[in-house]
Structures are given as structure tokens and as C-alpha cells.
Amino acid sequence: MASSIQDVTDATFETAVLQAENPVLVYCWVPEVAGSPWDIGPALAQVSGMFQGNVTIVRMDLGANPMTRDAYDQMRDAYNQHRLPAMVLFKQGVPVAVQAQPMPLLPPEALVSMFVGRNL
């Protein structure tokens, strides 16, 4: 079951991610990675239905959202993850895990399931 991924911005990040009741997986990217081998955004859209009701998957263009980019930069330093694209899992508004590129060469469903499963 495929589902679309919601885009979040500086204006919607607090409500969509930080105030969310369920865990939220944020796919952080910049236009420069679109279409590259590291871009798993399209695959996330295909597998997002697997997590409906349990984990919300959203996408954020960090290049177009400088306020959230600054917060991401601070968080990635704490996790020592310095590349984009990246997946960040938030629980109760707190980032609990970061997976930055290079990501394991697994099928997208396995990658997302592994990342979400081990961090919930």
C-alpha cells in the first residue's frame, strides 16, 4: 500500500513533528541529492503505508527551510552524522536517532523497518 509523504516547512515543523503524538520519521534532504543514489525519498513514499497509524513519515527540504536547518545542524553534531540526505526519528518531539548517508544498501522497506524498529 503506497502513501504520499507530507512536506514540512519551518512554519509547519513544530506542529507536524515536535507536537505529534506518534513517532515521526523526517527525511531531511536538499535538492542537490534528488535523483542521486542516496535519494531514498521516492522509496519512502512507496513504503510509508506500512507505518500508517504508528509512524508518520514526512519530508523536509533543509535548503529551503533555514530555521529547521540550523536546528538540524546542531542535532547532527550531537549524533555525529554530517551528511545529507538523512532520516531523523522523533518521539514525543525529541530526536532519538539519526541515519545519514551513506545508508546501508538494503531495499527501502528493509532500511526503514530496520531504522524505525530498532529505535522505537
Answer whether residue 50 is part of any domain.
yes
% of residues, the chain, pLDDT over 90: 17
pLDDT computed for residue 1 by the predictor: 39
Average pLDDT over residues 97-109: 67
| Cα–Cα separations (whole angstroms), residue 2 to 28, 49, 95 | 20, 5, 26
Answer whether residue 15 is part of any domain.
yes
Domain count, the chain: 1
Domain range holding 109?
A: 6-119
CA 96 to CA 79: how far, in whole Å?
9
Answer whether residue 104 is part of any domain.
yes
Q: Which of 75, 68, 69 is nearest to 11 (CA)?
A: 68
Question: What's 30's domain CATH number?
Answer: 3.40.30.10
Answer whether residue 1 is part of any domain.
no
pLDDT computed for residue 81 by the predictor: 61
Q: For residue 7, what is its C-alpha cell?
A: 512536506
- Whether the predicted pLDDT of 66 surpasses 60: yes
Q: Which of the listed ranges 3-7, 66-70, 87-91 does the model predict with the highest average pLDDT? A: 87-91
pLDDT computed for residue 80 by the predictor: 61
- Residue-averaged pLDDT of the chain: 78
Q: DSSP string covering 31-54, please?
A: GGGTTSTT--HHHHHHHGGGGTTT
Q: What is the pLDDT of residues 7-49, one digit of tens each?
A: 999 999 999 999 999 999 998 888 877 666 667 777 787 777 7
Longest dimension (CA), the chain: 35
User: 70, 92 in Cβ contact below 8 A?
Assistant: no
Answer whether residue 34 is part of any domain.
yes
Answer whether residue 72 is part of any domain.
yes
